[in-house]
């Protein structure tokens, strides 16, 4: 399974908002600048995050975006499902052998469990301890 830029950048937005939790709304322009990302692309990603109830927008001169819940209450699975759809390693095929279907199911369940057990708070703490690993989204 490979997470697309939608999922990766969506996680970036949400981590930035989680770091800012409890403060003033954070504009996408600030996130784009800090992470060297396209503001236009982030604008496309924020809509589904807002529509799913994960973030809310605040208008005005000091406007921007806020999380709707505490970082410990939002999982990576919430974000990935919102932006990528169902978590599956491969398209399900009826003609796959039962042993292959079992393998795909076990892979899907393992990935889903990691995403469901990892909160934004966890991701902030990983970042705070300088936890970095290249290609961490390749499985």
Q: Please say whether the beta carbons of 19 and 124 come within 8 A.
A: yes
pLDDT digits (tens, 9 = 90+) for 105-130: 888 899 899 999 999 999 998 866 65
Task: Determine the straight-line distance between the first and last CA of the chain, rounded to whole angstroms.
Answer: 6
Residue 139, pLDDT > 60, answer: no
Q: Where are the domains of the chain?
A: 5-128
Assign 136 a pLDDT band (cuts: 50, 70, 90).
low
Structural class in CATH, domain 5-128: mainly alpha
Q: What is the pLDDT of residue 59?
A: 92
- Output phi, psi for 130, to 5 deg: 60, 30
| Cβ atoms < 10 Å from Cβ of 70 | 13
For the chain, give the mean pLDDT. Answer: 87
Q: Please say whether the beta carbons of 116 and 75 come within 8 A.
A: yes
Q: Please say whether the beta carbons of 115 and 80 come within 8 A.
A: yes
pLDDT digits (tens, 9 = 90+) for 29-78: 999 999 999 999 999 999 999 999 999 999 988 899 999 999 999 999 99
Which H or E run contains 65? strand 64-67
Q: pTM above the 0.85 mark?
A: no
């Amino acid at each position: 399974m490979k997470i697309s830029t939608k999922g990766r950048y969506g996680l970036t937005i949400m981590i930035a908002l989680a770091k800012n939790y409890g403060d003033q709304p954070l504009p996408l322009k600030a996130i784009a600048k800090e992470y060297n990302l396209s503001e236009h692309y982030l604008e496309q990603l924020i809509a589904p995050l807002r529509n799913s109830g994960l973030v809310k927008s605040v208008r005005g001169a000091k406007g921007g975006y806020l999380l709707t819940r505490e970082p410990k209450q939002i999982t990576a699975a919430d974000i990935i499902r919102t932006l990528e759809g169902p978590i599956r390693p491969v398209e399900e095929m009826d003609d796959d052998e039962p042993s292959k279907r079992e393998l795909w199911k076990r892979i899907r369940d393992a990935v889903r469990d990691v995403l469901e057990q990892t909160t934004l708070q966890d991701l902030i703490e990983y970042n705070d301890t300088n936890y970095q690993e290249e290609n961490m989204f390749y499985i």
